[in-house]
Structure 1
Amino acid sequence: MLSVGILAVALAAAGCSKNTGEDTNSGETTKAETQTATLAENSDGPAPEVSGAKKGGTVTLYTSGDFEHLDPQQNYVVPSQTTGSNLLYRTLTQYRENGDGKLEVVGDLATNTGEESNGGKTWKYTLKDGLKYEDGSAITAQDVAYGIARSFSPDLPNGPHYIQQWLAGSADYNAKYKGPYNGGAKVPPNVQVPDAKTIIFNFPEAHADTPFAMALPTASPVPPARDTKIQYDNRPFSSGPYKIQTYNRTQKMVLVRNENWDPKTDPIRHDYPDQYVVDFTRTAEQASELLISDAGAAQTALTFQDMTIPASVYPKAVAQAKDRILTGPTQYVWQINFNTQRVTDLKLRQALNYAIDRQGLLKVWGSYAGEPGSTLLSPTTSGYEKYNAYDGGPTGNIEKAKELLGNKTVKLTYAYRNTERNQAIAAFLRSSLKPAGVDLTIQPVDEDQYYTVIGKKNNQFDMYMYGWGSDWPGAGTVIPPLWDGKRITPEGNNNTAYLNDPKTNEEIVRILGLSDLTEADKAWGALDKDIMTRLAPTIPVIYDKQTTLYGSKIGGIYLSKPYGNSGLNNLYVK
């Protein structure tokens, strides 16, 4: 039956505000507290007008490197997902938020958040009237099914895997069906498309959180005639308010209005700026200096992606532009994962957990951009339990680490995203872990290839930093994708520690089967602690805070809770 307005899922909300400059560790932030994300009764467009907004002008996003994937079925990194889902393409459902603390799931392409039947195993979606691509052709239910179908392909291994696994009833989702390439069907198993407006999902098991999964870019439509397979990253076909005019990889992308996007069908997006320019060439220091000066094009620009204000520039930013710093905690935890296929010695993993100097690491990271972390779950996620299984103090316990290592020297290889910030982190880890007896070789990986490279099961690295936050409210989108060994595949892994522990795998299955969300939250928190205490497959180091510096003529900016990033859907030029 229709479930609209009934389902409410616990969400740990991150408070946000502008930075006042009164605290080197954070701005004025509200304490994280549990809220609810609800399914909206009304999914009609257009989106509410933003006070003071007007059309015109160019918004520039400064980033330190290109997007890893813009193909919606491979898009799983926050900046590219924000850009895609806010500007380029639409999904069956999406989040409605305006920076006011409220979070709703609404029908985006669909008329509502889904019609549930068969005990939660069957979900029906009906598309709205008047939906068009950038060329004016109609968006159909067949195109949504095709988009999901192509996500099964081994050629497109990255991106979220929830919908594929649910349809297959297995973590090994493409064992029998490998998508539409090489003669496969254009509609995946357990999906029905009775007409151009209707798509029905028949899952082998009940999934009450289907409306949330359908907000992921997996559920974006792709017209088969426009599918260029692995090259689709370079030119996804627009169903949103903007389309790609030019895209010079590693240099610049220009988005202009999609004149065939109808705001009357869209409950969340606007098209206020004439265009968006994504500049991939700036260093964090260059971008920050431009924005602090607030001259010319920088007046309508903002930092984006891994472009946080460098620690060396932050005091100047606070002194001269404190009213233009948006900051707040997000749902993300930064952790240093061990490749447990290679780093098999538990004592070694425990030793490095004791040795880690979180205080020093955070200074390099940017003390305003996070807080020391010690758990798998973020404090903003329901189920979080505060603990520290290897408390070496704020700067680490080298002697305890040496004791666990038997005063031996070990050689390890650490891979890092080749950005300024991560270069500094890698150098800090190499020097700070050396007294414990760790000879760390550091190796850069191109920023636009990093998650693809470490997501390969046969990667040749021992350690790497990994950031993860919940895909939708609750720990069930943190622990299973990161720590379920049954989900490990040759490529596109989120479990980049490659942990495959039978006890953990079994407990994940048990918790996912619980109908009582309060009981499930407690169980996730307990499993978090068990994984760290018993297995130490990672070193949690930072609870993330998003920090965005923006120009004085940027309006409509806010911190997006589901994306942990600056929302783009309400931006305008003053």
Structure 2
Amino acid sequence: MKSRTPFAAAGLASVVALTLAACASGGGTTPSDSSSAPAGGGSDRGGTLTLGILQEPQSWDPAQAHVGHRLQPFQLAYDSLILREPDGTLAPMLATDWSYTDDAKTVLELNLRTDVTFSDGAPFNADAVVANIEHFKTDNGPQAGMATAIDSVTAVDADTVDITLSEPDPAMEYYLSQALGLMGSPDSLGTDAMDRLPVGTGPYTMVADKSVVGSQYVFVARDGYWNPDLQKWDEIDLKLLPDVTARVNALVTGEVDATLLDGTTFQQAEGAGKTLLEYATDWQGLLLFDRDGTLNPALKDVRVRQAINYAFDRKNLLAQLGGGKGEVTSQVFGPDSSAYVPELDTYYTYDPAKAKQLLADAGYANGLTIEMPLFTPGGETILTFVAQQLADVGITVKQTQVPIADYQGELGKGNFAAAWFSLFQGPTWVAYQQLLSDTTLYNPFKSTSPEIQAAAQALRTNGDDAEAAQALNRYVTENAWFAPWFRPSQLYYYDASKVAVVAQVQMAVPSIYNYSPVS
């Protein structure tokens, strides 16, 4: 099998107010009970559903699957072990049930369906699950951190698997509804062929001769799929439209039936009579990576990081970058998290004078320079606002252009002390793992503290420990590990005359199962 280059599949869409790397979740109906499946499946399928997508997979190998809007394409070809309903509830999919078999919660046992095959005809069974999880651990995909706690995976018998953890991971079941849970045919995992053509147990298969890299991907309902009630369409086409203007034009003209827009384009969709799903999943702002001063000694001083926070006019940024759609915030944990503390949304107000005083107290009265990446194309507007507002308090931003496809990878390599990004506000432990663990892409200098370690240990043993979660949130907010600006509204528009769409909690776009034909 091939050895992947770290973060090679990561990329960034050329948009401002959209989710770019939100931790995502699958969702839909409970496939183990066809009586509860939504209308529109089986013989009542719709014709062709066409979706405008922001980015295409760099590889269709399930180990290279991502999250947020980048998980949705994989759901066409790959079922997950556990399904995440639109409201976040976990439900059976390829696993019929699951439970921890020890008090320490380090052995998770899954019972599997016995009537499932891959699109190449191979049987789905416990050995296939073992092969997929082991491949996921070694293939170094963008979400490889989901498997960090997995010590081993064992086929107990043909339809039973034990996942043994080196330490408790409260998010493991959640991860099995995400990239970690996607199941591909063992014979294809890690091959060049699977980079181009997915081979899974999912409801649809790709039509190779109609799919064009950089343009569109065509999927058709798979014959013999184990739950035809999830096949609500004869065909689903994905059109790659990284430019938001192109997406809104395609929606208005009927070229696509649904897509994600932003604060600069939603008026056109509304004017054309399209229907809106509006909800928040993410925060936008700066990641202040270099808290130990490895690249930029100034950022080791908490007063400098706090000054950066006071320098931003969050309401103006929301108006200019998010079209006024969303809520300003100073915290990276969202309202649906046990870590959320309402008053932390306004912990940092716009106060340039206070920012200047903090910089002077830290010894930078004459200013300082911070190098930040500018992703191109698309990031120019964002960095213009960042540079302007920081310049007002004496901080010069040195902008270094980074191709959009390389942006996340450059962050993960620790090449920059600070950078703009948009990240999801999910469940507390999942957000901790994404932002603060020493294995995450977004903590390249492996920053930590005794306070963070203490909170993490409490959360590891009890994922619902609100006291520890809120202590963690207060610590990273007060010590300015980040500089959040706002929680943008996700503006997902669709043609309600053709398709009904249900929002997916903590996911920038709906799961593929959440689209149903109107008639």
Q: TM-score range by the shorter chain?
A: 0.7 to 0.9
- Output the aligned Cα RMSD: 3.1
Q: CA deviation at 1:502?
A: 3.7
What amino acid is the match of 1:530?
Y
1:244 to 206, 210, 217: 206
What amino acid is the match of 1:60?
T
2:133 to 144, 148, 154: 148
Which residue in the other structure is 2:354 paired with? 400
Which residue in the other structure is 1:253 paired with? 217
Which residue in the other structure is 1:415 paired with? 373
Which residue in the other structure is 1:106 paired with? 91
1:20-419 equivalence runs, <5 A = 43-45=32-34, 48-50=37-39, 54-67=44-57, 70-85=60-75, 87-97=76-86, 102-112=87-97, 114-119=98-103, 120-153=105-138, 155-162=139-146, 164-168=147-151, 189=152, 191-206=153-168, 210-228=172-190, 232-246=194-208, 247-263=211-227, 270-281=230-241, 283-292=243-252, 295-298=253-256, 301-304=257-260, 308-311=261-264, 313-321=265-273, 324-330=275-281, 332-340=282-290, 341-343=294-296, 344-346=299-301, 347-388=303-344, 391=347, 393=349, 396-406=350-360, 407-418=365-376
What amino acid is the match of 1:161?
G
- Secondary structure of residue in 2 paired with 1:289: helix
Cα distance in 2 for partners of 1:383, 1:296 equals: 42
What amino acid is the match of 2:453?
N
Q: CA deviation at 1:124?
A: 1.9
Cα distance in 2 for partners of 1:259, 1:42 equals: 17
Moved more, 497-506 or 346-355: 497-506
Cα distance in 2 for partners of 1:71, 1:369 equals: 35
- Secondary structure of residue in 2 paired with 1:149: helix
Cα distance in 1 for partners of 2:458, 2:36 equals: 40
Preserved contact between residue 288 and residue 309 of structure 1 (Cα < 8 Å): no
- Secondary structure of residue in 2 paired with 1:137: coil
Preserved contact between residue 284 and residue 420 of structure 2 (Cα < 8 Å): no
Identify unmatched segments of 5+ residues in structure 2: 1-16, 18-28
> Structure 1 residue 522 and structure 2 residue 486: aligned?
no
Identify unmatched segments of 5+ residues in structure 1: 1-24, 26-39, 169-188
What amino acid is the match of 2:136?
S
Distance 1:460 1:282, change over 3 A: closer
Which residue in the other structure is 2:21 paired with? none
Preserved contact between residue 156 and residue 230 of structure 1 (Cα < 8 Å): no
Preserved contact between residue 459 and residue 469 of structure 2 (Cα < 8 Å): yes
- Secondary structure of residue in 1 paired with 2:148: helix
Q: CA deviation at 1:539?
A: 0.4
Q: CA deviation at 1:547?
A: 0.9
Distance 1:258 1:368, change over 3 A: farther
Preserved contact between residue 67 and residue 448 of structure 1 (Cα < 8 Å): no
- Secondary structure of residue in 2 paired with 1:118: coil
> Structure 1 residue 541 and structure 2 residue 489: aligned?
no
**How far does the alpha carbon of each residue in 1:437-496 deviate from its partner, in whole angstroms, 9 at most, with x for none?**
22223344444443333222x3245323141232xxx31221243113xx23xxx62435
Distance 1:105 1:571, change over 3 A: same
Cα distance in 1 for partners of 2:129, 2:311 equals: 49
1:440 to 377, 382, 397: 397
**How far does the alpha carbon of each residue in 1:384-417 deviate from its partner, in whole angstroms, 9 at most, with x for none?**
1023498553xx2222222222332322222244
Preserved contact between residue 68 and residue 80 of structure 1 (Cα < 8 Å): no
Distance 1:318 1:411, change over 3 A: same
Preserved contact between residue 370 and residue 418 of structure 2 (Cα < 8 Å): yes
Distance 1:237 1:103, change over 3 A: same
Preserved contact between residue 92 and residue 219 of structure 1 (Cα < 8 Å): yes
Q: CA deviation at 1:47?
A: 5.3
Preserved contact between residue 66 and residue 448 of structure 1 (Cα < 8 Å): no
Distance 1:368 1:277, change over 3 A: farther
Distance 1:348 1:117, change over 3 A: same
Distance 1:381 1:404, change over 3 A: same
Cα distance in 2 for partners of 1:106, 1:380 equals: 20
Aligned length: 479
Preserved contact between residue 64 and residue 141 of structure 2 (Cα < 8 Å): yes
2:432 to 470, 479, 486: 479
Which residue in the other structure is 2:25 paired with? none
Distance 1:208 1:349, change over 3 A: closer
Q: CA deviation at 1:198?
A: 1.8
What amino acid is the match of 1:203?
L
Percent of aligned positions that are identical: 18
